Chains A and B, each alone.
Chain A
Amino acid sequence: GQNIDQPTEMTATEGAIVQINCTYQTSGFNGLFWYQQHAGEAPTFLSYNVLDGLEEKGRFSSFLSRSKGYSYLLLKELQMKDSASYLCAVRDIATDKLIFGTGTRLQVFP
C-alpha cells in the first residue's frame, strides 16, 4: 500500500520562499509528482522526480530523496497567484497507479 503525508496548510508572504514537504511510504516507487490546484479548478502538473536530486523549473523546484521517502516543493519569489493547494502524488511501480496526498493549502499574503 501507499501512505503520503503533507502539511494541511501553510502561509507565506509575497516575495518570500516557501518549502512544502511530502513524505511517503510505498511498496514500489516509480516517480513522484507535484500538482497545483486553484480553488474550483482541475489540478495542473508542476514537476516530476524519479531520481534523487533537485529539479528546477523557473520559480519552482522539486527535490527527491528515495532512501528517505521524502520530497519537497520549493516556491521562490512568491506571488499572490501562487495561493492554491499543492498536491504530492506517488506512482506505484507494480500497478502504475498514481496516489495523491491530501494536499497543502498555501495562502500568500501581501
Chain B
Amino acid sequence: GAGVSQSPSNKVTEKGKDVELRCDPISGHTALYWYRQSLGQGLEFLIYFQGNSAPDKSGLPSDRFSAERTGGSVSTLTIQRTQQEDSAVYLCASSGVGALHFGNGTRLTVT
C-alpha cells in the first residue's frame, strides 16, 4: 500500500479484556516498530521486528503484551487483560534503509 495502515483507528475496551492491534507496513519494508504514546508524552519504544524476528523486545511493559509478525509483513500487537494504564495511542512504523514511516495509530481507551 501507499503508507503504513493500522487498524482499528480507535478501540474502547473494558478493563480485563484482551485487544489485538494490527499494522500493515509499507510493502517491501523489512523493519517494523511498535511505539506507545500517552497524552502529551513522547514515543515509548515497545518492540522492533527485522523480518519476522524480534531482536529487541525490551520495551514491552509487561508479559501481558506480545507481538508477532508473519510473512515479513503484517504485525499484530496483543494486550491481554487490559488495564487502564494501557490507554494510549499505539503507533506502528516501518522502514527500509532510511527513515521510519508511521501509521496514524490506534487510540486505545480502557474503561
Contacts and interface: CB of A to CB of B under 8 A. Distances in A.
A72 to B, nearest CB: 18
B12 to A, nearest CB: 17
The DSSP consensus for interface residues of chain B is: strand
Nearest to B42: A102
B44 to A, nearest CB: 8
B56 A95 contact: yes
A48 B31 CA distance: 17
Interface residues of A, number: 18
Contact of B42 (A33, A44, A101): A101
A101 B45 CA distance: 11
Given A42-B102, A42-B105, A44-B102, A96 B43 contact: no
B2 interface: no
Interface of B: 31, 33, 35, 41-43, 45, 48, 50, 55-56, 91, 98-105
